[in-house]
Structure 1
């Protein structure tokens, strides 16, 4: 009898426990998230920024290839000038996509194939003379891309007539010029095709914050580009900000000079600034950080307000280096150093405060000694 009562009591307690553990059907749905929508941000980046920018750049590459073909078929000052204009247009457009060194671009080392400068003139001339070269070798990185085209179109001789004649009389020069452009088209074509294929969905659906996530890869690429390739590469190294001695021969588009080097730098800076700010009502780094309530670690003020303000100051200082960056570095280098210093102020904000607020780990190391 006692055992029967004990069994009945145990059964009753288990039954009550089971019912008490059941959830209210109305509570089955998770609470709506009040945080930023990472997938919406990634979707906007893919469909409204990266893919359209790549399409515009691809259009410029198509023209560059056509003008290269026309020039090598009939080398003359007129066809040379048309090719130069196509090269400059593509080079400026490149500044708007170079910061997208993640995903397919990172896999093929797109930047290495397109814009490592200064060009290795000795290596380029050796390649032309021998007629034998492999653009996939690490030693060939500064022997291709836009900086090499700068030398080939502006530096192989003095004056347009002499440059055109060099190509008219040298099949190896014509071949090398053609091969450089063909390699650019092939390498970028791989990246462009993947974004227009399955990678777009892969990118959007990888919406975590771990080191392999799309968000982490974008933020690391963005921070690295700003710190190493814009701040240091375009201004700091030529100005000698890290070494104490100006090196004007290290500027972008060294052989063309004139207004182009600064135009490349200001275009790149505007691309970084616009990627951060975005458009009103659209997802962006700024809106994401605002949704997180991100603060500056030193002042406690809105992080996005401080970053935006610093970008504005940097843009003004950079523009003041015109019209000829080479001449500015040579004659009034202190202004170039001042521009570098203004850009430097945003490094901590981006690399430390922004990544910390977003829960992103910085996965690259910069060793420029600053």
Structure 2
């Protein structure tokens, strides 16, 4: 009799616990603020920035590939000019995707094969003269990619006629043309590998890793974004050429600017990189404004530790300040360094403030561990 009385009571009690457990799990799964829904954040990064960014870059690169093929078939003044314009457009477009060194790009270390400068001219010359060489080795990074193409298209001679003579030379002209096409073909293969991977499964994998731990997509993107701006925008484009970094000992290095053999676009490359970084931070894409670092930081009410204002506002204000200082530079950074290097130093100083905001303040507010180290002493 006692068991018959207890059975209904135990059944009701068990339903209560089950119901409580379901409510608790439901509350855990549903973010209380849409700005904190990391699945939405990751989806917007993939669908509004990374995949379409690579697609736009691929369009520019395919033009470069076509023009390179035309030049190989018939080196003329017109085909050389067309190739130079295609290289310029692709190099500028690259600035909008170089920051996305996560997932497929990280696996193949895309940046190492696309944009390590200055170019190793001696190594390029050696590769051309040899029948076999290995472009996978770290020593070969600066013998390929955009810096090597910059040299081969813009730097082998000052005059167009001499550039054409370089490729029409009876002894090595064909080998030089073949090496040019080898570099373009290799870049095309790596780019295709990255883009196909994103569009055939990695997108879903990226969006599914919604944690904040090491190995999560948000953690990986914070590290990739911050490392890119610190090491490849601040230091690579400005710090090393201007001698602003401690590692340079204050010595200027105009020979280490990006696009050294076509320096008239060197400032444009830096401006594009800074603008692309700012747009990614704020979530501003070609399709509108979506979930971003800015919206996430606002969602957790992250404040600047020194001013008490919204951290996202201070970061964007600093991006704008850097952009204004970049706009004021000479379009040719080599000329800027030789005429008024102090302006370059000022840009580096403001970029350094921005690095601190991203690497320290933003990562701390988001509870993200920075897993890379920068050893230039800044």
What band does the TM-score fall into relative to the shorter chain?
Answer: over 0.9
CA contact (8 A) 2:64 2:87 kept: yes
User: Are residues 1:190 and 2:183 paired?
Assistant: no
1:262 counterpart (262, 267, 271): 267
CA contact (8 A) 2:266 2:331 kept: no
SS in 1 for 2:16: coil
User: Are residues 1:157 and 2:157 paired?
Assistant: yes
Give the Å deviation of 1:281: 5.2
Give the Å deviation of 1:299: 2.5
Higher mean alpha-carbon deviation, 274-283 vs 51-60, is at: 274-283
Instruction: Please give the TM-score of this superposition, normalised by the length of structure 1.
Output: 0.93
SS in 2 for 1:56: helix
Could you tell me which residue of structure 2 aligns to residue 34 of structure 1? 32
CA contact (8 A) 1:75 1:165 kept: no
Report matched runs for 1:196-345 at 5 Å.
Answer: 196-242=199-245, 243-258=249-264, 260-279=265-284, 282-345=290-353
Higher mean alpha-carbon deviation, 275-284 vs 312-321, is at: 275-284
Could you tell me which residue of structure 2 aligns to residue 175 of structure 1? 178
Distance in 2 separating the partners of 1:202 and 1:98:
21
CA contact (8 A) 1:113 1:145 kept: yes
Give the Å deviation of 1:154: 1.2
Distance in 2 separating the partners of 1:11 and 1:224:
67
Give the Å deviation of 1:43: 0.7
Could you tell me which residue of structure 2 aligns to residue 23 of structure 1? 16
Give the Å deviation of 1:137: 0.9
Question: Structure 1 regions of 5+ residues with no counterpart?
Answer: 1-6
Distance in 1 separating the partners of 2:124 and 2:145:
11
Superposed CA RMSD: 1.9
Distance in 2 separating the partners of 1:296 and 1:21:
48
Give the Å deviation of 1:91: 0.2
Could you tell me which residue of structure 2 aligns to residue 4 of structure 1? none
Instruction: Choose 1 or 2 for highest CA Rg.
Output: 1
Report matched runs for 1:60-75 at 5 Å.
Answer: 60-75=60-75
Distance in 1 separating the partners of 2:295 and 2:48:
16
Could you tell me which residue of structure 2 aligns to residue 82 of structure 1? 82
Question: Structure 2 regions of 5+ residues with no counterpart?
Answer: none
Instruction: Please give the TM-score of this superposition, normalised by the length of structure 2.
Output: 0.92
User: Are residues 1:50 and 2:50 paired?
Assistant: yes
Could you tell me which residue of structure 1 aligns to residue 105 of structure 2? 105
User: Are residues 1:365 and 2:373 paired?
Assistant: yes
CA contact (8 A) 1:262 1:323 kept: yes
Q: Count residues with an aligned counterpart.
A: 362
